[in-house]
Structure 1
């Protein structure tokens, strides 16, 4: 499995296992979670994507319960903060909101460390742009958690270029990634400047929902695209899921897709995407199906 350097000291596996569904279903046992992590490690997938809000603020603890110290040294943990929703430990809150204050960022980091039973977070992301963000205060807080050793690198999620430059302007630490929605169905970042902004700065983007939340495979409006994906997958001895992820991997921006599933068989096949070397014509063929028309 290829690896991508976000900083000189922090590298992630090219494919990332997303843990937003870790709290789904009935079996959250350490043994079940460990089996999922082991299935990832068997393919060279070492990076686990978390957020404090996942699983109603429970997914980090579920991971921590399955994370002996020897396993922690084999993985990288990405987690996020700033969303406060009326659930879990915030059940009494009246409304969902964002909090990028210093107090909240520092408390969130400490809480995540306790829940995941670890001394450090590899990458901390601000989960959503905060309309009330004081960029000087937030930037200083992110610098602080890095300087403390609690966090190795910091980035953002769902930020637009202007959100990025505002926050970065108040920081000593370089932001290392922006996790945004990118897929064949959410392809606007390729043309609206989101990816170009990062690519110009040699910042690898992370892609959440790289399979379009599953609608890529179940929505009849995408039947032609699905047929084309199946053909590409079959030509490489794999399936349409791998082909859809390979489409992202083929882009020179060094996109890191974040794939979330609780099915062990599907987890075991995540790495198939790395076996597809997609040429330019095939890339544009899939893109054309996604657009519903040929490119201009």
Structure 2
């Protein structure tokens, strides 16, 4: 499995395992979660993507219970998590409504909660989960810098930010924002043309892609599926691997974040990294996805 250096201090595996739905599994026991982690590690997938809000603020603790049972796994992986969304659930059940909080107090409290729940003493990559229209960059930026300086966080980045949100936060920071995790897939191609991806490429910042299979919606696109299945048949894999390989082929160096609770599917995630998607095939898939030829 290829690895990507986001900074001199941090490398991630090219494919990332996402924990968004870990709490939805019928079996959330430490032993079962450990089996998922080990299935990833066997393929060289060492990066685990979390957010404090996943599972109504329960997913990190589910993962942490597995690490407590098998602490030897910690040094074999990179832990990514996110903060900044406050919703009336779990430890925030008393709030009046969903909102964003990028204050220093909230970020620091979120990091402490994530460290405790994940059963780790350091977060490898902390992301601000959503752009906050009430953000004060002169507060948020120094708070992130301080976390890096403290050693509690190795590197920081953002998620779902537009270029101007990214620039605003970076302008108040000494640390570099090392990634932006945005939605990208054959069913969500806007980042390829709206400037989001170009902004990151210009700055040599590797993007992460959430929902790289479009939440399963790509399987409802008959024309797209026909091409995916054709390529899959030629390369001896399934259509899912081809859809992920389409992202991997892009010169921006995209890191797809894949989540499934099915152990058999987890064991096949790495297949995408072995595929070859040439330029013409890339555009055939792109054209099928947007429903027309490029201009």
Q: What TM-score bracket applies, with the shorter chain setting the length?
A: over 0.9
Aligned equivalents of 2:26 and 2:257: distance in 1? 23
Give the equivalent residue in structure 2 for 1:290: 289
Checking the alignment, whether the CA contact within 8 Å between 1:121 and 1:152 is kept in structure 2 is yes
Deviation at 1:69, TM superposition (A): 2.6
Residue number in structure 2 paired with 1:224: 223
Give the corresponding residue for 2:58.
58
Partner of 1:18: 18
Contact 1:236 1:275 in 2 (8 A): no
- The answer to whether the 8 A contact 1:63-1:116 is kept is yes
Q: What's the counterpart of residue 78 of structure 1?
A: 80
Question: In structure 2, what is the Cα distance between the partners aligned to 1:165 and 1:158?
Answer: 13
Q: What is the rounded CA distance, in whole Å, between the counterparts of 1:275 and 1:255 in structure 2?
A: 15
Structure 1 stretches of at least 4 aligned residues deviating more than 3 Å after TM superposition: none
CA displacement 1:71-123 (0-9 Å, x = unmatched): 10000010000000011111111100000000000110011000111010000
SS of the residue 1:171 aligns to: coil
Correspondent of 2:158 among 156, 159, 165: 156
Cα shift readout 1:111-151 (whole Å, capped 9, x = no counterpart): 10001110100000000000100001000000000000000
Aligned to 2:89: 87
- Report the CA distance between 1:70 and its aligned residue: 1.3
Residues 102-141 of structure 1 mapped to structure 2, 5 A cutoff: 102-141=104-143
Counterpart residue number, 2:254: 255
2:34 is matched with 34
Q: Show the 5 A alignment for 1:189-268.
A: 189-217=191-219, 219=220, 222-268=221-267
Contact 1:3 1:11 in 2 (8 A): yes
Unaligned stretches of 5+ residues in structure 1: none
Structure 2: distance between partners of 1:25 and 1:7:
34
2:270 is matched with 271
CA offsets per residue over residues 213-266 of structure 1, 9 Å max, x none?
Answer: 01111x2xx101011101111111101000000000000000000001000011
Q: Give the whole-Å Cα distance in 2 for the aligned partners of 1:122 and 1:108.
A: 15
Q: TM-score, normalised by structure 2?
A: 0.99
The 8 Å contact of residues 206 and 255 in structure 1, kept in 2 or not, is answered as yes
SS of 2:81's equivalent in the other structure is: strand
Structure 2 unmatched ranges of 5 or more: none
2:256 match: secondary structure: strand
Q: In 2, are the aligned partners of 1:80 and 1:124 still within 8 Å (CA)?
A: yes
